[in-house]
Amino acid sequence: MPDDLIPPGLHPLLAARWSPTTFDPEFEVGAAQAELLVEAARWAPSAGNSQPWAFIVARRGDETHRRLVRHLARSSGRWAPSASVLVANLAHRFVEGTDWEFSEFAQYDLGQAVAHMTFQAQALGLSVRQFRAFDQSGIANEFSVPSHWEVTSMSAIGRVPADAGSPPRPAPGPPRDRRPVVELLWAENRLTTDG
Amino acid sequence: MPDDLIPPGLHPLLAARWSPTTFDPEFEVGAAQAELLVEAARWAPSAGNSQPWAFIVARRGDETHRRLVRHLARSSGRWAPSASVLVANLAHRFVEGTDWEFSEFAQYDLGQAVAHMTFQAQALGLSVRQFRAFDQSGIANEFSVPSHWEVTSMSAIGRVPADAGSPPRPAPGPPRDRRPVVELLWAENRLTTDG
């Protein structure tokens, strides 16, 4: 298997996943679908079931969306507002009023929860691009996020327009390069030497 | 929708997912399936495609498995060795030889990659339990993991025996409680008020 090919056995939702920067600016995600996205994240596993996550969920056209868009960076401001949904992904970093970590897995578990949200979005025919090009403290202030929480990332979720090409390739955007498998496996532990 | 029920629209692989501590001690995962698990993680998204992850993958019966099992805590040592596969999940925390973060998303992205691996495992009829009950520096020493990498978590992956009950419930183990949706959404941003 060449290292730049997605293997045939990969689940279709994983194999077809990519991170577009072009979204259909007319397509709307309904409230029930947006709720399902949150449910997907909500049922993700976490260390000791600590659930160190929260979300600011905005649908294009609502007031929350307008307030989030104000804090996008110039780069993300060019494409993210056209997605149907914008989500700010928050991690519970500290125990309130202290500098003690709430969980050593706060970011790890938030990443998992966002991955679960992404699978659910894919299952609904939507695509997701996560990004960091926004004003973290701007959003925290705008939404009164207390300092023991962190606005870690954002997700743009929507439908890729038909004329944007069919994912995952040929696709607009950067190529889906990945390090070869052999680099991901610790040198002494290559599957092929055991298998 | 009562808050303790998994909503019907959730993707079946997410709805059926749980974290067992009982695995069929005879069932074996083949090398090709183990490779698919790594591929699932490999194709996960990451900040700037930084791919801050690596994995020590062991199948029950191989030498790597024996070496990993030595470093389990007493608690995980009671159940994790019976899983078909043990994986140590490594995060690329620092730029080699410095105390600069390799990526502010190293743990977040590792969490995502492990979620992708979990999703693929579910698609193969396997279940996954992640855990932290192991000797982090013991594994790092055993496998010569350099200090700019962190052995963040482990995953036990295998088949749940038929007599362990049918996931997700009634199921052995802790109940699948989650915080109510309204707590996950920042107070000003309840989906229902927008929708």
CA–CA distance, A151 with A164 (Å, rounded to integer): 30
Residue A15 reports pLDDT greater than 70:
yes
Average pLDDT over residues A154-171: 75
Interface predicted TM-score (ipTM) over 0.85: yes
The SS3 assignment for A22 reads: coil
> A62 to chain B, minimum CA–CA distance in Å?
7
Write out chain A residues lying below 8 Å of B15, CB-based.
43
Residue B14 and residue A119 in contact, taking contact as beta carbons nearer than 8 Å: yes
Q: Please report residues of A whose CB lies closer than 8 A to that of B185.
A: 38, 54-57
Identity of residue B31: A
- For Cα atoms A186, B54, B141, give the angle at the middle one, nearest 5 degrees: 50
Gyration radius of chain B over CA positions: 18
**Shortest CB distance from B111 goes to which of A34, A110, A174?**
A110
Torsion of CA A23, A6, A154, A173, to 10 degrees: -50
| CA pair distance A111, A91, nearest whole angstrom | 9
**From B122, which residue of chain A is nearest by alpha-carbon distance?**
A11
Distance of CA A157 to the CA centre of its chain: 8
Confidence of residue A166 (pLDDT cuts 50, 70, 90): low
Answer yes or no: do B38 and A107 touch at CB < 8 A. Answer: no
- pLDDT of amino acid A102: 96
A109 has pLDDT over 70: yes
pLDDT attached to residue A182: 83
Range in A77-81, B6-10, B37-41, B54-58 with the lowest mean pLDDT:
B6-10
Q: What is the pLDDT of residues B52-61, one digit of tens each?
A: 999 999 999 9
Does the beta-carbon distance from A132 to B105 stay under 8 Å? yes
Which of A91-100, A177-186, B117-126 shows the lowest per-residue confidence on average (mean pLDDT)? A177-186
> Minimal CA–CA distance to A171: which of A7, A10, A19?
A19
Q: Assess whether pLDDT exceeds 60 at residue A42.
A: yes
pLDDT of residue A94: 96
SS percent in chain B: helix, strand, coil, step 5 = 35, 20, 45
Of A62, A120, A143, the CB nearest to B194: A62
Average pLDDT on A49-75 reads: 96
In the sheet that holds A53-59, the strands lie side by side as A53-59, A85-92, A149-158, A127-131
For residue A168, pLDDT over 60 is answered with no
Beta strands in A79-148 (DSSP E): 85-92, 127-131
- What does pLDDT average to over chain A? 89
Nearest CA in chain A to B30: A195
Asked if pLDDT for residue B75 goes beyond 90, the answer is: yes
pLDDT of residue A173: 43
Enter the tokens of residue A192. Answer: 């092929």
Contact B165, B172 (CB under 8 A): yes
